[in-house]
């Protein structure tokens, strides 16, 4: 059975078969042609623009092609009419009855009947993945928030999603931190803000290691001791992890981010040597200047070191071992990694190596642009890093100023809870509404925007729309509006209905392009269309039947906004 019941998929499947029937002696494969959505100003509900690119192959003018498709066609139940326009567009008009039944199906479902195309498929999403002993700053927010949305979107589509936080808990930095900790730690500061203090001693020790060879050697020795299982160093290492995880978890709970697994790089330690053996056995890893490397010249990629000349393993070795381990344990169809753009080469390298090793799991690197300040990049050393906790605090407190004024009659606790949802919503939306691959310049104004295309604007729209049905109930307490059919008595109603029906295809587009911004754009557009609708037609004053239908449509807009915001990890309080 085809589980993809989005409008666009139904239309696409149909138009492909129509082209194939119309031109069945052409020998052309029409299985890739598509239909497109029509913008606000176009004609039809959807459009097929494929006659133009097919003109050459079919030896006919695009208009003739479009006309041949449309002529004498028996229309299926979901189509009202087709029309040929311009150079050869086919405008598609959906039948009202069919649209109504589509919306009825959406309205009967708690998550707006999103197609469960992922049933039976497993994906691992590797995201957030901060490094131990370093605070999460606002650059890290992107992997956490984008990754979490990808996680939510795939779950909504029925995939079996395994969210794995691959924290950086192993590696050369631990020798440096240990020396720093043993020599410079300020116990009081460690109590106060453990991760900031760990970072301070790390930086101090790192700087010393660059000037003082003796110090550097000692750092290396501490690392070797750790790697060999020295009890004292292991205990200290565990302490660093616990302190860091405490802080990370606090942030995850504020952001409502949950993982199925938090497996650090160290989880794969005993799988590194077998991985290396497999690479050697396949003839992929070869000796070069005392190190073991994989040449990737054919792929035009830099050589990948899998074991350093000092015997240490690399980031890439761990990632290869991780793929093998995930493959054995979860047998996923896809593994998605969410990191910043600077790691693109690393991912290309180890993806290639995994393929050469014979692993055919689909590996996908979803990278995003770096977050910068108007004055340049964030740098711990320059001290211009804005910590994530501070950003969230600031967002909540700015939202509280507004909520306490707009909802002064509510208790302070309730106001605080709304402010929390609004503040966190603003921060998440500011990030998710942009194309992930463009660089983001951080400004407080943008991150905390409460109006325009922002999280709070949509939360506010939701609360307002949801309250319409309350007003209805106050006036018409004895009528069940849900028992009335949907009607499109005005054009604007139908336009809004078509937009509501696009929710499902929007979620799929966001999933397969790995772009949360696809959902954000859609929700903003929907909220605006609703606003025009609300301003143009009467609701409670409309005649019976029309009135109930409008209240129902309104409710559908509200549930799409709620479901869509939920995919972005944004709460929808009933009032703001």
- Contact positions toward ligand ARG, by CB under 6 A? 126, 129-131, 166, 168, 319, 322, 337, 339
Nearer to ligand ARG, 292 or 323 (CB): 323
Query: Minimum CB separation from ligand ARG for residue 315, in Å?
Result: 7
As a whole number of angstroms, the distance between CA 289 and CA 295 comes to 13
Nearer to ligand ARG, 244 or 322 (CB): 322
Nearer to ligand ARG, 127 or 400 (CB): 127
Nearer to ligand ARG, 103 or 163 (CB): 163
How far lies 111's CA from each of 142, 156, 507, 562, 567, in Å? 26, 8, 11, 9, 10
The residue whose two tokens read 């794995």 is 164
Nearer to ligand ARG, 131 or 435 (CB): 131
What is the end-to-end Cα distance of the chain in Å, rounded? Answer: 43
Q: Which residue from 161, 512, 165 is spatially nearest to 332, judged by alpha carbons?
A: 161
Half-sphere exposure of 8 (CA within 13 A, CB side): 20
Q: Determine the number of helices (DSSP H) and then strands (DSSP E) in the chain.
A: 21, 15
At 413, list the tokens. Answer: 């606790």
Nearer to ligand ARG, 126 or 431 (CB): 126
8 Å CB contact between 40 and 48: no
As a whole number of angstroms, the distance between CA 132 and CA 339 comes to 16
Nearer to ligand ARG, 125 or 285 (CB): 125
CA dihedral 166, 170, 172, 174 (to 10 degrees): 120
Cα 185 to chain centroid distance, Å, stands at 39
Q: Give DSSP secondary structure letters for 392-453.
A: HHHHHHHHHHHHHHHTTTS-HHHHHHHHHHHHHHHHHHHHHTS-TTS-EE--HHHHT--SSS
Nearer to ligand ARG, 310 or 341 (CB): 341
8 Å CB contact between 436 and 146: yes
Q: What is the largest CA-CA distance in the chain?
A: 87
As a whole number of angstroms, the distance between CA 363 and CA 347 comes to 9
As a whole number of angstroms, the distance between CA 407 and CA 563 comes to 25
Nearer to ligand ARG, 159 or 267 (CB): 267
Radius of gyration of the chain (CA): 28
Residues 507, 509, 511, 516, CA torsion sign: negative
Query: Minimum CB separation from ligand ARG for residue 126, in Å?
Result: 5
Query: Minimum CB separation from ligand ARG for residue 144, in Å?
Result: 11
């Amino acid at each position: 059975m085809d589980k993809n019941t989005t409008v666009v998929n139904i239309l696409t499947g149909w138009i492909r078969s129509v082209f194939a029937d119309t031109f069945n002696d052409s020998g052309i494969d029409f299985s890739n042609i598509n239909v497109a959505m029509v913008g606000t100003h176009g004609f039809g509900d959807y459009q097929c623009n494929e006659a133009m690119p097919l003109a050459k192959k079919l030896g006919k003018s695009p208009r003739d092609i479009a006309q041949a498709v449309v002529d004498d066609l028996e229309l299926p139940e979901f189509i009202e009419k087709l029309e040929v326009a311009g150079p050869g567009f086919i405008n598609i008009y959906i039948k009202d009855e069919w649209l109504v039944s589509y919306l009825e199906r959406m309205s009967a479902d708690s998550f707006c009947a999103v197609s469960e195309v992922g049933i039976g498929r497993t994906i691992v999403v590797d995201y957030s993945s901060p490094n131990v002993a370093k605070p999460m700053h606002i650059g890290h927010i992107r992997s956490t928030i984008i990754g979490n949305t990808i996680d939510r979107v795939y779950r909504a589509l029925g995939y079996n999603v395994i969210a794995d936080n691959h924290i950086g808990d192993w590696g050369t930095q631990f020798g440096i931190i240990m020396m720093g900790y043993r020599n410079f730690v300020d116990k009081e500061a460690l109590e106060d803000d453990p991760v900031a203090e760990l970072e301070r001693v790390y930086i101090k020790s790192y700087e010393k290691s660059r000037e003082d060879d003796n110090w550097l050697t000692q750092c290396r020795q501490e690392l070797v001791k750790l790697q060999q299982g020295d009890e004292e160093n292991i205990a200290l290492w565990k302490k660093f992890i616990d302190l860091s995880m405490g802080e990370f978890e606090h942030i995850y709970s504020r952001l409502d981010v949950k993982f199925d697994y938090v497996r650090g790089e160290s989880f794969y330690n005993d799988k590194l040597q077998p991985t290396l053996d497999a690479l050697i056995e396949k003839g992929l890893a070869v000796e070069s200047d005392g190190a073991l490397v994989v040449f990737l010249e054919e792929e035009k990629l830099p050589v990948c070191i899998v074991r350093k000349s000092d015997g240490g393993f690399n980031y890439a070795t761990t990632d290869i071992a991780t793929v093998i381990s995930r493959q054995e344990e979860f047998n996923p169809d896809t593994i998605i990694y969410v990191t910043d753009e600077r790691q693109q080469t690393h991912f290309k390298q180890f993806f290639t190596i995994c393929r050469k090793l014979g692993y055919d799991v689909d590996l996908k690197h979803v990278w995003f642009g770096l977050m910068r300040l108007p004055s340049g990049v964030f740098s711990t050393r320059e001290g211009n890093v804005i910590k994530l906790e501070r950003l969230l605090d600031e967002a909540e407190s700015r939202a509280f100023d507004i909520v306490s004024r707009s909802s002064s009659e509510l208790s302070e606790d309730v106001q605080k809870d709304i402010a929390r949802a609004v503040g966190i919503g603003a921060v998440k939306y500011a990030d998710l509404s942009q194309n992930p691959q463009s660089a983001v310049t951080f400004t407080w104004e943008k991150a905390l925007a409460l109006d325009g295309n922002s999280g709070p604007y949509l939360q506010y729209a939701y609360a307002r729309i949801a309250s319409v049905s309350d007003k209805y109930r106050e006036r018409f307490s004895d009528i069940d509006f849900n028992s009335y059919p949907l009607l499109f008595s005005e054009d604007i109603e139908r336009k809004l209905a078509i937009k509501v029906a696009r929710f499902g295809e929007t979620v799929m587009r966001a999933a397969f392009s790995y772009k949360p911004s696809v959902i954000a754009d859609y929700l903003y557009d929907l909220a605006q269309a609703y606003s025009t609708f609300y301003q143009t037609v009467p609701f409670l004053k409309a005649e019976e039947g029309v009135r109930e239908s409008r209240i129902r449509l309104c409710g559908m807009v509200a549930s799409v906004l709620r479901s869509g915001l939920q995919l972005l990890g944004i709460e929808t309080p009933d009032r703001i």
